[in-house]
């Protein structure tokens, strides 16, 4: 989600402000590719290129799977968060970097789909907002384009985008089922897959309830953010 938000919102803004220019065309192709690709195929292609092919070409390659290099490091989980444990409890920067490198491919694979959705929504929202009268008024006052976009247009354009982000947050958990299976990741997604293969009904129900709870919580947080972005919205 950090990858998706950090890249999706700026790309959407650039695409809207550079409408029908090269930057807009490139961004739209990038976003369209993200929403069109099945996540399992994208994960396999990442592994094929950045792990298998790069290793064949004697180039620096990314790990093909697992949470960390268990042949090189030992990890006794304290909180279960490897990056946090490796720094705070184990005081092992090498393990931290190894875990961070193992995050790159599955993190980007899972985040790219959400990134594409956020980019498309941000672009369409920004295009609608910059046609409003108050944006024309701000420009007629002689304000710089940067102030007009980031101080006046961005807040209103973020409202529908935040809605998509809230829904996508829950979708990340369901997407993790395939991503974690492809990258042999010891997480909830692979656990759910194993539960389905083993016909563990209780575990499947538990995973379903967890995803539902995350969706409800994400939508509640989105409703709270609405009041921050738009002062006209009040909660009784």
- Rounded CA separation 163/166 (Å): 5
Whether the pLDDT of residue 132 is over 70: the answer is yes
- Rounded CA separation 184/162 (Å): 31
Confidence of residue 235 (pLDDT cuts 50, 70, 90): low
Q: What pLDDT score was predicted for residue 102? A: 93
Confidence of residue 174 (pLDDT cuts 50, 70, 90): confident
pLDDT single digits (tens) 160-171: 888 888 888 777
pLDDT single digits (tens) 78-112: 888 899 999 999 889 999 999 999 999 999 988 89
Helix axes 39-46, 154-182, angle to 10 degrees: 70
pLDDT single digits (tens) 149-161: 888 888 888 888 8
Domains of the chain with bracketed CATH = 2-229 (1.10.3720.10)
Helices (H) then strands (E): counts for the chain: 11, 0
Share of the chain above pLDDT 90, in %: 41
């Amino acid at each position: 989600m950090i990858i998706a938000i950090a890249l999706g919102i700026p790309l959407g803004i650039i695409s809207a402000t550079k409408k029908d220019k090269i930057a807009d065309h490139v961004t739209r192709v990038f976003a369209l590719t993200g929403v069109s690709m099945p996540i399992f195929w994208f994960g396999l292609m990442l592994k094929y290129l950045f792990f298998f092919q790069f290793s064949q070409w004697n180039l620096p390659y990314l790990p093909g799977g697992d949470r960390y290099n268990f042949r090189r490091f030992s990890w006794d989980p304290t909180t279960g968060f490897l990056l946090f444990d490796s720094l705070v409890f184990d005081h092992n920067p090498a393990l931290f970097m190894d875990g961070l490198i193992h995050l790159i491919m599955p993190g980007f694979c899972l985040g790219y789909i959400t990134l594409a959705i956020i980019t498309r929504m941000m672009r369409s929202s920004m295009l609608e907002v910059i046609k409003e009268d108050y944006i024309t008024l701000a420009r007629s006052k002689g304000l710089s384009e940067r102030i007009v976009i980031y101080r006046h247009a961005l807040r209103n354009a973020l409202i529908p985008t935040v809605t998509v982000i809230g829904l996508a947050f829950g979708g990340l958990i369901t997407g993790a089922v395939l991503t974690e299976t492809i990258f042999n990741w010891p997480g909830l997604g692979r656990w759910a897959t194993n539960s389905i293969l083993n016909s563990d009904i209780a575990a499947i129900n538990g995973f379903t309830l967890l995803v539902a709870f995350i969706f409800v919580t994400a939508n509640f947080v989105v409703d709270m953010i609405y009041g921050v972005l738009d002062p006209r919205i009040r909660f009784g």
